[in-house]
Amino acid sequence: DAMVIQNPRYQVTQFGKPVTLSCSQTLNHNVMYWYQQKSSQAPKLLFHYYDKDFNNEADTPDNFQSRRPNTSFCFLDIRSPGLGDAAMYLCATSSFGRGETQYFGPGTRLLVL
Amino acid sequence: GDSVTQMEGPVTLSEEAFLTINCTYTATGYPSLFWYVQYPGEGLQLLLKATKADDKGSNKGFEATYRKETTSFHLEKGSVQVSDSAVYFCALSDITSGTYKYIFGTGTRLKVLA
């Protein structure tokens, strides 16, 4: 089945130690999103790619970076994780257009020690 | 800017009860509207959507109608089951600066008791 895959499902890192979360998709969607979600709150958009065009949200900390080497893969890099960065990180994809559905991966739960 | 407001939870119901979760929105354009569901430890899944006024989205017994006059998209189900226990998010999609963004409400936790 076509899907959005996130690895790993659980990630433990130490305070200040860089970490990378990965997302891949088999839907061939041109838009990919990264969200941060804490305690079943609303997902908070960090940034998104439209093809290779990167769009950063104004309130996304500089500590968060992203790479999209090709259509299928997208990475979230957290350069120096703090305790406040512990959260669920959700990757989503969609086609570009009005009314298009976002498809979410299962998420990566990040724990910062 | 655009926003979504949905009723606070948690909502606790007995099995076979009627469910309504209210959702209202503000938007500068003509948004598409969605309901997503999130089960514990999982990502969000689309439940239903509507893209124009008076459209009714429906899936798995859930329904919601796009009401432009009241800027609402309330979720309803006639008879809930224990398996419906989850967090429900209302969302809109609207074009902003040439790209489509999705804005989510704060979520409503539903607990259905047997």
Do the Cβ atoms of A43 and B104 come within 8 Å?
yes
pLDDT value of residue A105: 95
| The pLDDT of residue B108 | 96
User: Encoding tokens for residue B16?
Assistant: 């076979």
The predicted-structure confidence for A60-113, as pLDDT tens digits, reads as follows: 999 999 999 999 999 999 999 999 999 999 999 998 888 889 999 999 999 999
- CB count, 10 Å around CB of B60? 12
- CA dist., res. A87 & res. A21, Å (int): 12
Rounded to whole angstroms, the Cα distance separating A38 from A53 reads: 27
Residue-wise pLDDT for B31-58, tens only, equals 999 999 999 888 899 999 999 999 999 9
Residues of A in contact with B104 (CB under 8 A): 42-43
Residues A63, A80: contact at Cβ < 8 Å? yes
- Does B69 have pLDDT greater than 90? yes
Q: Provide the shortest C-alpha distance from residue B105 to chain A (in Å).
A: 6
Which residues of chain B lie closer than 8 angstroms to A102, CB-CB? 34, 44, 46, 93, 102
Q: Do B93 and A100 touch (CB under 8 A)?
A: yes
